[in-house]
Structure 1
Amino acid sequence: MTKRVFNAESVPLLALGYRFQWEPMQDCYVLLYPEGMVKLNPAAGEILKRISEKQQTVGELIAELKVAFDGADLDEDVYQFLEEAYVNDWIRAE
């Protein structure tokens, strides 16, 4: 098993050069960067919205998402997304 970049105490932050926003013309959240734009699915948008709004640990982020989504078991999905976003250089770990 590969070692994760993120754990419950990690603080994910948007990578430098990226801006997160709602894009009405696309009807979705996007990540803007100098070379273009990444359209985000609803789940990715919810995670990155919280990362862009405030600094919090992954544990706090997951707890907030569980409240927002009626206690859904989404821990593994959040970790998987964070790892993929890190590999794509969208976020960094603090």
Structure 2
Amino acid sequence: MNGGSIPRLARGMRLREDKARGQWVVLGPERMFVPDEIALEILRLLDGARSVDALADDLAARFAAPRAEILADVLAMLDDLAARGVVTA
């Protein structure tokens, strides 16, 4: 992925709030995982319309953090999730 990529959850993957457990989960065919707070903030922004650059801009403004660091972290996380089949661009 790069800054111009438009990430979204892969086919069959869903981000859902598990009210019984009081946490958010990512569900897919025969798997489930609980994202940490940072991953959850990023996953909530995946709408299939915004680029990685736009995600980094949003997060940098919201958390008053350096955009370059945010972009590097977002790209690393999305690359990892893409390798696991959770997101696609």
The 1:84/1:77 distance shift into structure 2, 3 A limit, reads same
1:81 corresponds to 2:77: yes
The 1:43/1:77 distance shift into structure 2, 3 A limit, reads same
1:64 corresponds to 2:66: no
1:28 corresponds to 2:19: no
What TM-score do you get using the length of structure 1 for normalisation?
Answer: 0.82
Q: In the alignment, what sits opposite 1:91?
A: 87
Q: By percentage of residues, which structure has more helix?
A: 2
Q: In the alignment, what sits opposite 1:10?
A: 5
Write the distance in 2 (CA, Å) between the matches of 1:83 and 1:48. Answer: 13
Kindly tell me the number of residue pairs found equivalent between the two proteins: 87
Write the deviation string for residues 25-79 of structure 1: whole angstroms up to 9, x where unpaired.
Answer: 333321111313111100010100000x452000001001111112343221111
Q: In the alignment, what sits opposite 1:19?
A: 14
Say what the alpha-carbon RMSD is for the aligned residues.
1.5
Please say if residues 7 and 48 of structure 2, whose CA atoms lie closer than 8 Å, have aligned partners that are also in contact: no
Percentage identity across aligned positions?
28
The unaligned stretches of length 5 or more in structure 2 are none
1:46 corresponds to 2:27: no
The unaligned stretches of length 5 or more in structure 1 are 1-5
> CA shift at 1:15, angstroms?
0.2
Aligned partner letter, 1:19: R
